[in-house]
């Protein structure tokens, strides 16, 4: 008998894939700015990339999970000298990323089903992408992320701050999100062998997310 829960989760991830295929340019133009935004948020990402570079000096190898069109984050990392592999489920995002950030390499894949050899990366980053993955898949992904990291490698990720799940209109497309609360993420990370070093609240309008830095132990 088919696993209904598994099928539901696959269709939720597929909704996200179709959504970003449709809204790629509205979410970020080629300069990395969202429709209607007065700033592109580059400063925020730049600070995060600088913090990562203090822990793992370039040309360390970094996996960018849910890299989108590669701007601004993947580009900032390659400009810094990191050797970056970007992964995204959306073909449109990956096609744009290859054009906008020719110094990185990219693969179109679902991070949930993606396989890779262990101990391949000094760091894994994931900005605003894990929160589009169904929670059960997020939890199951953490030990895989741990396996892709070299010993003492780092995970820098935006995750949820409060429990929330839903499908809402996003730039004109139906979009799925799934957030656990901060305390749950910290437990899941620790259980996966990714020890949280610090975490902080990143505000966004009236809500926000958690930025967490964890280290593979
Ligand atoms: C909000 S965008 C963030 C893009 C980029 N990280 C940034 O911060 O600008 C989320 C990205 O995650 C990707 N994504 C969502 N679920 C994914 C999955 N299961 N596997 C791979 N990529 C996924 C989406 O296609 C989208 O490009």
Average pLDDT along the chain, 217 residues, taken 10 residues at a time: 84 98 95 75 92 96 98 97 98 98 98 98 98 98 98 98 97 98 98 98 92 98
Q: Output the pLDDT for position 163.
A: 98
How far, in Å, is the centroid of ligand 1 from the Cα of 193? 24
Q: Output the pLDDT for position 38.
A: 61
Ligand 1 binding pocket mutation candidate from 12, 19, 89, 158 (most atoms within 8 A of CB): 89
How far, in Å, is the centroid of ligand 1 from the Cα of 17? 8
Q: Output the pLDDT for position 206.
A: 84
pTM above 0.95, yes or no: yes
Q: Is the CB of 110 under 6 A from ligand 1?
A: yes
Q: Which atom of ligand 1 is nearest to the CA of 67?
A: 6
Q: Which atom of ligand 1 is nearest to the CA of 20?
A: 25
Q: Give the E-state strand segments of the chain in sequence order.
A: 61-65, 83-88, 105-108, 121-126, 149-160, 164-170, 173-179, 194-204, 207-216
Q: Is the CB of 160 under 6 A from ligand 1?
A: no
CA distances 176 to 32, 85, 111, 125, 160, Å, are: 22, 25, 16, 21, 14
Q: Is the CB of 20 under 6 A from ligand 1?
A: yes
Q: Is the CB of 173 under 6 A from ligand 1?
A: no
Q: Which atom of ligand 1 is nearest to the CA of 24?
A: 27
Classify domain 4-216 by CATH number. 3.40.50.150
Q: Is the CB of 16 under 6 A from ligand 1?
A: yes
Rounded distance, CA 185 to CA 190, Å? 8
How far, in Å, is the centroid of ligand 1 from the Cα of 75? 15
Q: What are 215's strand-pairing partners?
A: 154, 195
Question: What's 34's DSSP letter?
Answer: P
Q: Where are the domains of the chain?
A: 4-216
How far, in Å, is the centroid of ligand 1 from the Cα of 1? 31
How far, in Å, is the centroid of ligand 1 from the Cα of 111? 9
Q: Helices H, strands E: what count in the chain? A: 6, 9
């Amino acid at each position: 008998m088919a696993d209904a829960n598994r099928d539901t989760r696959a269709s939720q991830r597929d909704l996200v894939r179709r959504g970003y295929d449709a809204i790629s340019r509205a979410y970020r133009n080629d300069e990395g700015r969202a429709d209607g935004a007065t700033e592109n948020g580059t400063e925020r990402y730049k600070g995060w990339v600088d913090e990562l570079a203090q822990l793992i000096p370039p040309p360390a190898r970094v996996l960018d999970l849910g890299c989108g069109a590669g701007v601004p984050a993947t580009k900032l990392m390659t400009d810094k000298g990191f050797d970056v592999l970007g992964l995204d489920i959306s073909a449109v995002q990956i096609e744009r990323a290859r054009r906008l950030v020719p110094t990185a390499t990219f693969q179109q894949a679902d991070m949930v089903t993606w396989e890779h050899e262990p101990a391949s990366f000094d760091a894994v980053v994931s900005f605003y992408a894990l929160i589009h993955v169904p929670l059960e898949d997020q939890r199951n992904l953490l030990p895989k992320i741990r396996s892709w990291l070299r010993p003492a490698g780092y995970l820098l990720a935006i995750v949820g701050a409060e429990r929330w799940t839903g499908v809402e209109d996003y730039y004109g497309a139906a979009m799925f999100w799934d957030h656990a609360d901060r305390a749950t993420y910290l437990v899941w990370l620790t259980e996966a062998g990714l020890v949280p070093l610090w975490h902080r609240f990143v505000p966004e309008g009236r809500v926000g997310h958690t930025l967490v830095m964890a280290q593979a132990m």
